[in-house]
Amino acid sequence: MPVELAPLLPFPLRKECPPGACDCQRDALLDQWQSQPESADIRIMRLTREEEKQLLARIESLETYADLCRIEQRLLDLLGVELTITPSVNGVRTVMGLQIRLTPRPGLCRRTREAVPAAVRLCLTRHPEIVYALLDAGDLLGGTAAP
């Protein structure tokens, strides 16, 4: 990170990933913010490693579908990151039948893109009722009444 950029930011930044270990485009995002602050969304840079650990612990401890929806909305509102959970085209027999991913965007670390879905999967494994509610919300289990 350029030295002159540190005092301009209103929050602490996530540290850089080792060279070649990540494709997050952190520097390009910071350069864009420095040249055009109004067009660059740097909210994702607020997620430091310590805060990521807290987020993962919170996700793993979710107990209801409402909690999962709330954390999805908070990720979007606070960090600008969209968490999507969709059933596989082959059907859902286990939690592995769900596709869980964070929408890639500049500044989102590869490690975070892997860790958050893993934490969600662990939560869903512990609480299968959340999976049922998730599938029912997508109308996979609901169906329509016969006339």
- 26: part of which helix (H) or strand (E)? helix 26-35
CB 123 within 8 A of CB 100: no
Mean pLDDT of 131-137: 83
pLDDT at residue number 64: 95
Mean pLDDT of 7-18: 73
Could you tell me the pLDDT band of residue 143, with boundaries at 50, 70 and 90? Answer: very low
43 vs 140, more confident: 43
CB 119 within 8 A of CB 71: no
Could you tell me the pLDDT band of residue 142, with boundaries at 50, 70 and 90? Answer: very low
Amino acid occupying residue 44: I
Q: Where are the domains of the chain?
A: 20-137
**Phi and psi at residue 14, in whole multiples of 5°?**
-65, 140
Measure the CA–CA gap between 2 and 137, rounded to whole angstroms: 46
CB 102 within 8 A of CB 117: yes
Mean pLDDT of 96-124: 90
What is the β-pairing status of strands 83-87 and 98-102? Answer: antiparallel
Mean pLDDT of 105-127: 92
How much is the mean pLDDT over the chain?
82
pLDDT at residue number 17: 80
Measure the CA–CA gap between 86 and 21, rounded to whole angstroms: 28
Select the highest-mean-pLDDT range: 9-13, 32-36, 75-79, 94-98: 75-79
pLDDT tens track for 31-87: 888 888 788 888 888 888 899 999 999 999 999 999 999 999 999 999 999 999 887
